Amino acid sequence: MDKDSLEKFQAQISVLSAKEIEKTMKRLSKDEFDMFIDVLENYNMDLAKDLEQARNDMRQRLENHKMLFECVWDIIPGDVRRHLMGYYRTMSDIL
């Protein structure tokens, strides 16, 4: 398969649902099946990288907010402080 065909194949695979993927896999030859698996693995790796980057961005934002709130903590009303502390605990647990 040439490079252009491979790119088209990758683009088609990236928009398939789980059932469509299953149907497609049944119709593929051995070589196409191997290529299909490679494309899906690369797609999953890209998603994992994107997820890790998003987590890192969120951690950085939380840290920035925490530093900001530490500077103005004494002037924030008590009930708002409790809410913020719960929010940051929840977000930290998620990440």
Tens of pLDDT along 47-91? 899 999 999 998 898 889 888 888 888 888 888 888 888 877 887
Query: Which comes out higher in pLDDT, residue 43 or 16?
Result: 43
Q: How far apart are alpha carbons 27 and 36 in whole angstroms?
A: 11
AA identity, residue 9: F
Q: How far apart are alpha carbons 91 and 52 in whole angstroms?
A: 15
Residue 6 tokens read as 């491979």
Contact 73, 82 (CB under 8 A): no
Residues spanned by the domain of 85: 3-94
pTM over 0.75: no
According to the model, what pLDDT value does residue 1 have? 59
Mean pLDDT for all residues in the chain: 81
Contact 36, 24 (CB under 8 A): yes
pLDDT band at residue 4, thresholds of 50, 70 and 90? Answer: confident
**What's the domain count of the chain?**
1
H helices present in the chain, as ranges: 3-14, 18-27, 30-72, 78-94
